[in-house]
Amino acid sequence: MGRSGRPDAIDRHRAGVLLPASGTVAVVSYRLGGQDSVSVEAAERGWASRRLGFAVTTVAGSGDADRLVPGPAVDAVIADVPALRSDVADALSVADLVSVENLCPLPLTLALVVSRAVNFLGRARRELVTMPGGMTMPHETVVTKGWDPDQYSKFAAERAKPFFDLLAMVQPVPGGDVIDLGCGTGELTARLHAHTQAGTTVGVDTSEAMLAKARPLAGDGLCFDSGDLSRFDAESSFDVVFANASLQWVPDHPRLLRRLAAGLRPGGQLAVQVPANAGHPSQAIATAVAQEAPFLEQMGADPVAAAHAVCPPERYAELLNRIGFADQHVRLQVYGHRLASTAAVVEWTKGTTLLRFQSLLSPDLFSLFVERYRRRLGEALGEQAPYFYTFKRILFWARLPGSCPSGR
């Protein structure tokens, strides 16, 4: 547990959003009053809001709520059904802030839902909040599917080395608030929580499969929640923003770093590690295969855009200085991994690099993609057992001016 009562619910409700000093919170959910995860999460948001001093009104499609709307409540926000839209509009008109559980099943529709829902808010202060991180901005995102914790964990020890190097840069913030963007299965987030001595650490990931592994580790100020880090839009909410091997999935790093910096309090720390191995055959061959038929036709647009999101290390140093960080450390490091054979490189990339193609291809075409990639990579690397796999990564840490009070 933690500081008082049910602190995880309170901390998750506070994470990533500057709450008004007082007023009414409207909690909107598909369901309320049951034992399913949606109902429980929505109920905890209402409970946490009351503990933080707010009046609460609830809106749901079914169950025990102040205002019941036929069918899923949030569908009334999207659908052109005047009666339903009117009911939701009336319920939200009394709210200073709206907290939505399970807003919509597809993140790509979030911007549309937000734009319509905000129109229903009746007072001057208009905020739509989802947990975690105030995910309300319609930023471009890279959607991946098929995260397999078992596949990813095949090389857990090798993937952990950069994490611990990055962690060593972070200074403890006793009693502070920390967020881990791209927490995966949570074991390393727990190490982050212990190292920083934080009062609250929130691990965020898009993969429910990863989060299912992580959530049993929650407790004593550590919690996990689903969220798209590309939509992170907090304001002065955290003492540490930590992102290990996750930002490479998000485009436009200059804009992204400004948003991450905005989420820090004075004296707050930003710690990031990103792969920078695009020139290695394991990456370059995947990019080349993606631009061939029949894969390119099904993937459309630019299937390799994510590969170009990472900046050179000197660019990160320039950006951190321009944003206003007082101290920084940026380095390019080569990690050497002794794998069983060159064939093991395919297993490595299936857990990470190849996911961006898997998300755009049918299962049959993705299987064909992997086989072509496997053959080309074997031709380029030869048959080596063991195989020394070199992997370049950029690690950087920066701190804003000011002091970060402890014992929060």
Mean pLDDT across 399-404:
88
Decide if 140 is inside a domain: no
Count of domains for the chain? 2
> Strand 67-68 to strand 55-63: parallel, antiparallel, or no bridges (unpaired)?
parallel
115 with 214, same domain? no
Question: What is the maximal distance between C-alpha atoms in the chain?
Answer: 68
The pLDDT of residue 274 is 96
Q: Which residue has the higher pLDDT, 362 or 62?
A: 362
- The CATH number linked to 160 is 3.40.50.150
**Is it the case that residue 385 has pLDDT exceeding 90?**
yes
155 with 282, same domain? yes
Mean pLDDT across 90-112:
53
Decide if 249 is inside a domain: yes
Mean pLDDT across 246-270:
93
The pLDDT of residue 42 is 73
Mean pLDDT across 143-170:
71
The pLDDT of residue 103 is 44
The pair phi, psi for residue 293, each rounded to 5°, is -75, 150
346 with 269, same domain? yes
Specify the pTM. 0.63
**Is it the case that residue 192 has pLDDT exceeding 90?**
yes
The pLDDT of residue 123 is 29
Q: How does the average pLDDT of the chain come out, rounded? A: 76
330 with 202, same domain? yes
Decide if 1 is inside a domain: no
Mean pLDDT across 299-309:
61
For 39, the token pair is: 């109902």
Residues 26-49 have pLDDT tens digits of 777 767 777 666 667 677 777 777
Comparing CA positions, the residue from 204, 166, 152 lying closest to residue 183 is 204
Decide if 370 is inside a domain: yes
Q: How far apart are CA 284 and CA 357, in angstroms?
A: 14
Q: How far apart are CA 373 and CA 390, in angstroms?
A: 19
Written as one letter, the residue type at 212 is: A
373 with 300, same domain? yes
Q: ∠ at Cα 399 (397, 403), nearest 5°?
A: 150
Decide if 135 is inside a domain: no
198 with 315, same domain? yes
The pLDDT of residue 168 is 97
Evaluate the omega torsion of the peptide bond into residue 386 and state whether it is cis, within 30 degrees of 0: yes
The pLDDT of residue 194 is 97
The pLDDT of residue 384 is 94
Comparing CA positions, the residue from 325, 324, 342, 328 lying closest to residue 390 is 342
Contacts of 39 (CB under 8 A, 6+ apart): 29, 31, 32, 33, 63
3-state class of 245 per DSSP?
coil
3-state class of 94 per DSSP?
coil
Residues of the chain with pLDDT > 90: what percent? 42
Mean pLDDT across 264-283:
95
The pLDDT of residue 36 is 63
Comparing CA positions, the residue from 24, 114, 107, 128 lying closest to residue 78 is 114
With bands split at pLDDT 50, 70 and 90, how would you rate the model's confidence at 149?
low
The pLDDT of residue 52 is 66
Comparing CA positions, the residue from 63, 70, 66, 134 lying closest to residue 95 is 66
Decide if 263 is inside a domain: yes
Which of 91-100, 141-150, 215-224, 309-318 comes out lowest in average pLDDT?
Answer: 141-150
The pLDDT of residue 249 is 80
**Is it the case that residue 15 has pLDDT exceeding 90?**
no
Decide if 218 is inside a domain: yes
- The CATH number linked to 72 is 3.40.50
208 with 291, same domain? yes
Q: Residue 103 sits in which domain range?
A: 17-129
The pLDDT of residue 155 is 60
The pLDDT of residue 300 is 64
